[in-house]
Every structure is written in C-alpha cells, then in structure tokens.
Chain A
Amino acid sequence: MSPLHGNAGGTALGRKLLATTAVALTLGLAGPALAGGSLVTALDMGPGGDEDARPWSSGAGHTTHVKQFITPTIFNEDLSEIVPYAVESWASNDDHTVWTYTLRDGLLWSDGTPMTANDWAFTAEFMTAPDWGGDRPGDRNLSLSEVAGFDAKTAGEADSLDGIEVIDDRTIRFTLSAPNPRHFASLFRFYILPEHAVDFEPADFMTTDWFRDPSRFVGSGPFVVAEYAPDEYMTLAANENYFQGRPALDELVIRYFGGDQTAALLALEADDIDFTYVTETDVPSLEDDYDIFSNLSGVVVMTRFNYNLVDDAFSDIRVRQAILHAIDRDAITENILGGTYVSIPCPIPYADLWPEDVVTYGYDPDRAASLLQEAGVDPGSISMEWVGHAGYDNTAHNSALQAVQAYLSQIGINDFSYRFVDIPTFRASYSPDGDWQNQYHGFGVPRFGNDVGRLWSNGGALGTGVTGYDYDADGFAEAVAAISAAPTIDDYNAALGDFCRLHAEMLPDLQMWVGNRFGAADPSIENFWWQPAPAGGPYQDNAHTWAVQ
C-alpha cells in the first residue's frame, strides 16, 4: 500500500510568501467571520488565459474552473505536492495498477443533492464518449488515458470504461492499463460533473450553454455561476453547500481583458479591479501600494535545435556548448530581466533538485571561441534564427534576445535573428518535420505532475523521437522512464535530478532561464492567495476564505 500522500517537496525557489496569507492556507481552515462583499479580479490574466468558462476543454483557466467544481486531488498552495481534495483517502495494490479512492463524507452539489462516486464514474464515461465534442482533449487524456479500456471506449468499440468500477456511494476503483505509482497525480484536473443535472449530450460539449447558465448550472466548488456576460465578465455567487463552508464573499467577479496585461494593470490602478497578474517589469512600481504574490512559474524557457536538418553544425555538442558559454545568462537575467528570471543548469526549474555535480556553462567567450575552433566550425558560417510564439513577444524577452544577439556577435556569430509568430504558425511551421532551425519557448514543468516525461519522450503533440526532434542519445529514454516510474516523491525528485545531470551533459537543447511570475492584489483583500501555475493549476487557494474589508 502506498502512503496517503507524498511528503512535502522542497521550498520553491524565489518564493516570497506573504506572511499574512500563509496562515490561512492550511486546507480546511475556515475563513474569518467576514460575510458579504464582492471581489473583482482578473484571475486568468496570465499567459494562456481562458475566457470560455468551460472546464475539460480549455488550454488554461483552471484558476476559474476550480472555483466552480471540486477535483479528487489538487496541487497544494505552493505547488509542491498533490493533496486530497474531494477524496478523503486512496490506496493502491502493490504493482500500482489498481487504485481505490474514497470520497469525503457529506459532499453536496450546489443544489443540495449529494455527490457520489456515481457522479465521478458518469463524468469519466461522459468524457470518453466517442463523439465527445471537446476540442482540447489534453485534460481528458491526462485524467483518463491510462484507465483500462480507454482506447476501446473512445474508439466506440466498448460501451463503458472497463477500468472504472463504483464500489459504493463514496468509493470508486480505477484499474490502469499500465502501472502508475502516482495515479492520484493524474486527477487534479478531473472536474466531477453532476449526473443528475447534466442535460446535454457529450457531442454538444462545446456548444452547450450549461456551464454559463445560472438556471441550469450545478457545481460543487466554493462558487457557482450567477451571470455570464460574454467577452466582459463572469459573476460567481457563493455556494451555500460548499464542503469547506459557505464562502465569506457573496460574489466573485472575473473580468475579462482579452489577454492584455497593460489593460488589466490600468484597471487595477484605477481601482476597478482588486487583483491581476502583472509582468515582472511592473513590480517595482507596484510594490509600495499592492500585495505582490510571486512564485516560480515552473515554465522553463529554452532554445531547441532541429536535428532533422542533416548538415547542421549544431549536431556537434561543442557548438552547442560554445553558444551557451558565449551568452552571459546571469547578466541577462540580472540586468535585463530585472532579477526576476534565473539562469538554470538544466530544464528542471527547481534549484533544490539540481545535483551538485551538474555541468554548468558559465559566461566564458574565450572557451566558446576555442570550442568552435576544436569543432572546426567558423562562427561566421553559423546562421541562427530563433523563433518564438506570440506569448513571449514582450519587452523583457525582446530585450533578452537582443542581448543574446549582441553576445553571439562577440564570438563572431553575426548572422543571428529572432522573431515571434502566432501560435498556429508556430505549431505548423515549426513542428519537428518543419524547415526551422531554433525554437525559443517555454515548457511548463510542474513539480509533481506527470507532464515532465512528455517533453523528452514520445508523448505530447510535438511528435516522435526521444526529444521530438530526432535527437538521439544513450540514456535519455531510460532517464525519462525512471521519472515516470518513481513511486514516491523522493524517488521522483531524485529521478528529476538524474535527468538534470544527463541533460546538462548531453545538451540536446539549450536551457536559458526560468522566471518568477507575479500577481498584484489590493491590500484590502483578506486571505487572498494566488500563484502562478502552468495553465493555472488548479491549486488549493481556499477561495472560500477570501474576504474584502
């Protein structure tokens, strides 16, 4: 049997916990007796913000979804581990193929109906219907693809999922098609839907108004939808039946800004909203008047090479090393990115996981020049174009890349350029078989999720091959497999460390930096908690305790 849940992970790098809010973060702690009030936020303003208010088929927006629905498990408040939420406990058999979950006692839907394991099973069957209409199956796959019978069910060859069995009202059993020692970590985006209230077919998932219609919507989170004004805002009202107690707020308004941070920041300063995500360059001018929430984004920014281009100088590791040595990443993160980014030795963003003996590539232009010489490569013959997507087209990254350009020209690489393109162009033109050379972009690497392996394995939408780019090196597949197979968080962290060491040694792509992300809240909000999480989590933010003075 596995432990109930893992030990606490290390402290996140660069974390600046707010002393006042930290107290209220323990799960289940009831909010102060401040009742009433309305809070207006721009909760999903971060990269990939979502205005569709529709879980299970959004690239992001989990900060909002988790206000309306509970999930079996959830990231804790600082994203260091996955903790129980709707479930009370779990257990697995010895080879981690059969998992049994027990729901908390007395869970109610917002209309007062009890939530049972049948709702959970119903949701699983609903999402795997062959004609399910969702257009982003990522969360569905994360939650269910390892359940036995998933392929048959989604292909329409089976009527139900073999691997799901309701034992009683509070107990459900998952049978997996392959062992997973941390199956509970696959359930943090499993928004359970109410079987008795869902009045639409799986095929109509994207077209139904159910998720936005207060007269039909039934949820289980601290809030329920009260008004949805498309493109403008969504008003959520307190859910009297939330299992941790009625929220202190009467109303939580999520205003939409179409993804523009400057617009949201101006609204914050004009006192129209109480909270928004802010960019690193805004922090100095906000620190005095606002509570700043900050944490490591977990999104590693790096430069990838296309090894499919056969006569590429970059297939020589010395050339790749030379490029890293030529760029003063510390100076760039410190001076240009305002100290809010940190250069990293490998694409694992968490400093406590870096092995002491990891190879680092400090600023050393002489070494860079001699490495190029050893490799027999004339820097003047190197041509580089780094392409990123629109999500990075901001002052900070534009400045950083112009600095990279200047550094590279110091060792004679003069033919360097970069550009940002929209997402479909990025995906279509810069996929593994495309005729591109370098990609500059980020990967979300959550501390304890199951996404890490996908970056360097065959999964994921980027294609096949060990890295997705036909780069081949001994030991990569094994290192990735070791991460997936780690039974405890200690093993998992150790496997990440091994991967970090191997990556730094082989350098299949160039790790650049990882940033902190920031949120600014009006000091009048009490118990508020926000933190950057890839795609918005979800994580436990105890929204039922939030209050306004």
Chain B
Amino acid sequence: MTRYIIRRLLLAIPVLFMVTVLVFALIELAPGDVVDFFANPEVMAGMSEADLEALRERLGLNDPAPVRYLHWLGGVLQGDFGYSLIRSEPVGELLLRRFGNSMMIMGIGLFVAVTFGISLGIYTALRQYSVADFTISFLSFVGISMPAFIAGILALYIFSVQLGWFPAGGMRSPGVHTLGDLLHHLILPALVLSIIHMATFMRYTRFSMLDVLKQEYVVTATAKGMPRRIVVMRHAFRNGLIPVVTMIGYSIPELVVGAVFLETIFSFPGMGKLYFDSVISRDFPVIMAANLVIAVFVLAANLITDVAYAAIDPRIRLE
C-alpha cells in the first residue's frame, strides 16, 4: 500500500507538468492577451498602439512562449507564483485568500450534500418505489434541472429580499468581523450549492445500495438473522459507497471552480469567480497557479478514491 502511494505521488509529477504545459498552450491559443483587456473598447481614452506595445514589453509578453513558460516554471519551483496582471496583488496571497473563501462555502456545502445525499440515498434504496422514494427523488431533481444562477437568484429573492432571513450576498457585513456574521453570510450560498450536488450523491448511493443489497453475502447475512440495520450499515453500506466516493472525488474540482455562477450571484469572492475573471482577462499567472492548485486537488482526490476502493473492498489489489 505504501509503495503504491509513493509510486502514485511520483507519477503525479509528470501529470502536473502536462497540465501546466497544456493550460499554458491553451492560454497562448486563446485570442488576445492581458494588454488587449486593458485597452477599453468603449472609451478609447487615448491609449495608442505604442502604449500597448510598451506594456507588452514591460510585462514580458513579447518573449517567445517557451521562454515565458520556463520563466514561470522557474518561479514556481522557487515558490514564487508571480504577480497578478490585473489585480495588483501577489498570486500566492490572492489564491490563498480566495481558496480559503471557497473552502468555507465548499466545506459546508459538500458536508451537507454528502451527509443528506447518502442518508437519503440509503433511505430511498431501502424503501424503493415508495411514496417517500418518489417525493425525495422529485425534489432532488428540481435542484439539478435548474441553472445554478437561477437557483441562486430564487434563493436570494425568497430568503433575502422577501423573508429577510439572510444577507443578500457578500461574505461579511462591511466593518463587522465576527464568526456569526460570516456564518450568516455563508449559509444560504452553501445550502444552494449543496442542493445542486445532493441529488448526485443521493442517486448514486441509491443505485449502488440497491445493487449491493441483492448481493449474495448481504442476502446470506440477512438469512442468518442479522438485524437489518446492522446488515445495511456493516455490509451493504461499505460496498455501496464505492461509486459515491468516486463522485465525491469528481465533485471537488467542480465545487472549487464550477461554482462561478453561484459566486457571481452571491457576490462571493471564491475561486470560481477568480478563475473565470482571470480567463476572460488572460491573467495568466493566476490561471496557471489556480490550475496547479486544482490539479493537485484532483490528483489527491483520485488517489484517495483509489486507496478507498482497496480499503472498502479487499478483493481489489493495488498494483
């Protein structure tokens, strides 16, 4: 097992390298650069082509692409992620802050989604085709049949504007620095996030439990007179969890950067919005660093999933 993990960690290095090269290439291929972003197409207030050229020169955008990539890589290896081209801030600080924000909302959201998703999934599996099964299925599908942005607007409109239970977006009330205030701001977006993802966990759990409950060893255990609760929890649940664990792993990058529309409508400064803004402004130091962080997360999640497979099901051998 340890050898396997070490090997996977070593294999992560070429994967990360590939990811950064590909992302860099994609930014290169996308039309325009950050200087094109600076030149406001509306106001035309006196920036000449010469100004733009000088700016490109100063930002090092005129160097050949491989030189710029190696320069970036050299910096990263020394722990220097560079400076955001549009946000006047070191990328390291920026990412740390935004990532921290995302983790708060994601942490709550994922926890709620996984807990409720798995519980409801088991519940509906044990009561397949009951009224409860249909009601829960129906409700969970409302969450995934609506664009996140619309779900966010509806939530804000109902709970902030109409009922006044929660603040309408933002992360803190200006000037207030208390944990209570922070949580008050986090709950609504985190709940919307969890509703969007809950259906996924619920359905996978349900399907996979149904599958497992019919396996011989579960049937045998039940036949031997073991209490149903113990059978479910001890035997079925462990094995039924495998596809769910895969989906949790897959959800993490989506939760980190896929929440862009939700962050937008909740004016929440997280990673999704940062990544989106950086892409549309070609702020490549931020895109590259953010991608690196996301890639590390994905690799870690996949590794944990694979190890979890082996832990849950002894028949799987890690090679």
In-complex A–B contact (CB below 8 Å): yes
Q: Report A's interface with B, CB cutoff 8 A.
A: 40, 47-48, 52, 54, 59-60, 135-139, 141-142, 145, 206-207, 227, 229-233, 235, 251, 253, 255-258, 260, 262-264, 266-267, 269-272, 299, 389-391, 422-429, 441-444, 451, 454-455, 459-463, 534-535
B83 and A145 contacting across the interface, CB-CB below 8 Å: no
B46 and A427 contacting across the interface, CB-CB below 8 Å: no
Q: Which 8 A-B pairs have the closest CB atoms?
A: A424-B32, A428-B32, A231-B269, A270-B168, A427-B36, A138-B45, A141-B46, A424-B36
Q: Among the listed B33, B42, B46, B267, which residue makes an inter-chain contact with A257, where contact means beta carbons less than 8 Å apart? A: B267
Q: Chain A contacts of B55 at CB under 8 A?
A: 135, 137
A451 and B45 contacting across the interface, CB-CB below 8 Å: yes
* Complex CA–CA separation, A442 to B41 (angstroms): 8
* Complex CA–CA separation, A263 to B152 (angstroms): 10
Q: Among the listed A137, A267, A443, A459, which residue makes an inter-chain contact with B169, where contact means beta carbons less than 8 Å apart? A: A267
A266 and B157 contacting across the interface, CB-CB below 8 Å: yes
B267 and A258 contacting across the interface, CB-CB below 8 Å: yes
> From DSSP, what is the main secondary structure of chain B's interface residues?
loop
Q: Chain A contacts of B83 at CB under 8 A?
A: 207
Asked, given contacts A141-B51, A269-B161, whether A427 binds B280 with beta carbons under 8 Å apart, the answer is no
Minimum CB–CB distance from B287 to chain A (whole Å) comes to 12
Asked if B170 is at the interface of the complex by the 8 Å CB criterion, the answer is: yes
Q: Chain B contacts of A230 at CB under 8 A?
A: 89, 97, 269
B36 and A423 contacting across the interface, CB-CB below 8 Å: yes
B156 and A52 contacting across the interface, CB-CB below 8 Å: no
Mark the stretch among B109-117, B171-179, B223-231, B309-317 that contacts chain A: B171-179
Count of residues in B whose CB is under 8 Å from the partner chain: 56
A206 and B88 contacting across the interface, CB-CB below 8 Å: yes
- Counting chain A CB atoms within 10 Å of each CB, the highest count among B37, B263, B281 belongs to B37
- Counting chain B CB atoms within 10 Å of each CB, the highest count among A135, A230, A424 belongs to A424
- Counting chain B CB atoms within 10 Å of each CB, the highest count among A142, A227, A266, A422 belongs to A266
Asked, given contacts A229-B172, A270-B168, whether A48 binds B30 with beta carbons under 8 Å apart, the answer is no
Q: Chain B contacts of A137 at CB under 8 A?
A: 46-47, 51, 55
* Complex CA–CA separation, A307 to B40 (angstroms): 22
B43 and A59 contacting across the interface, CB-CB below 8 Å: yes
A270 and B167 contacting across the interface, CB-CB below 8 Å: yes
Q: Among the listed B43, B45, B98, B265, which residue makes an inter-chain contact with A263, where contact means beta carbons less than 8 Å apart? A: B265
Q: Chain A contacts of B48 at CB under 8 A?
A: 141, 459-461
Asked if B7 is at the interface of the complex by the 8 Å CB criterion, the answer is: no
A53, closest chain B residue (CB): B88
* Complex CA–CA separation, A429 to B98 (angstroms): 32
Q: Chain B contacts of A229 at CB under 8 A?
A: 172, 174
B83, closest chain A residue (CB): A207
Q: Chain A contacts of B169 at CB under 8 A?
A: 257, 263, 266-267, 272
A258 and B280 contacting across the interface, CB-CB below 8 Å: no
Q: Chain A contacts of B33 at CB under 8 A?
A: 424, 428
A141 and B172 contacting across the interface, CB-CB below 8 Å: no
Q: Among the listed B41, B85, B157, B175, which residue makes an inter-chain contact with A426, where contact means beta carbons less than 8 Å apart? A: B41
Q: Chain B contacts of A141 at CB under 8 A?
A: 45-48, 51
Minimum CB–CB distance from B35 to chain A (whole Å) comes to 8
Q: Chain B contacts of A47 at CB under 8 A?
A: 42
Asked if B12 is at the interface of the complex by the 8 Å CB criterion, the answer is: no
Asked if B282 is at the interface of the complex by the 8 Å CB criterion, the answer is: yes
Asked, given contacts A258-B264, A422-B280, whether A427 binds B41 with beta carbons under 8 Å apart, the answer is yes
Q: Chain B contacts of A443 at CB under 8 A?
A: 42-44
Q: Among the listed A40, A263, A271, which residue makes an inter-chain contact with B174, where contact means beta carbons less than 8 Å apart? A: A40
A272 and B170 contacting across the interface, CB-CB below 8 Å: yes
Asked, given contacts A231-B98, A258-B273, A263-B266, whether A461 binds B44 with beta carbons under 8 Å apart, the answer is yes
Give B273-314 as 1s and 0s: 1 = Cβ < 8 Å from A's Cβ atoms.
Answer: 100010011100000000000000000000000000000000
B34 and A138 contacting across the interface, CB-CB below 8 Å: no
A425 and B30 contacting across the interface, CB-CB below 8 Å: yes
B165, closest chain A residue (CB): A270
Q: Chain A contacts of B280 at CB under 8 A?
A: 390, 422-424
Asked if B31 is at the interface of the complex by the 8 Å CB criterion, the answer is: yes
Those of B130-171 within 8 Å (CB) of chain A: 153, 156-157, 160-161, 164, 167-171
Minimum CB–CB distance from A211 to chain B (whole Å) comes to 9
Q: Chain B contacts of A48 at CB under 8 A?
A: 40, 42-43
* Complex CA–CA separation, A298 to B236 (angstroms): 68
Q: Among the listed A136, A267, A451, A454, which residue makes an inter-chain contact with B267, where contact means beta carbons less than 8 Å apart? A: A267
Q: Among the listed A59, A260, A429, A454, which residue makes an inter-chain contact with B264, where contact means beta carbons less than 8 Å apart? A: A260
Minimum CB–CB distance from A266 to chain B (whole Å) comes to 5
Give B19-34 as 1s and 0s: 1 = Cβ < 8 Å from A's Cβ atoms.
Answer: 0000000000011111
Minimum CB–CB distance from A68 to chain B (whole Å) comes to 16
A391, closest chain B residue (CB): B42
A234, closest chain B residue (CB): B174
* Complex CA–CA separation, A427 to B44 (angstroms): 12
Those of B74-115 within 8 Å (CB) of chain A: 83, 85-89, 97-98
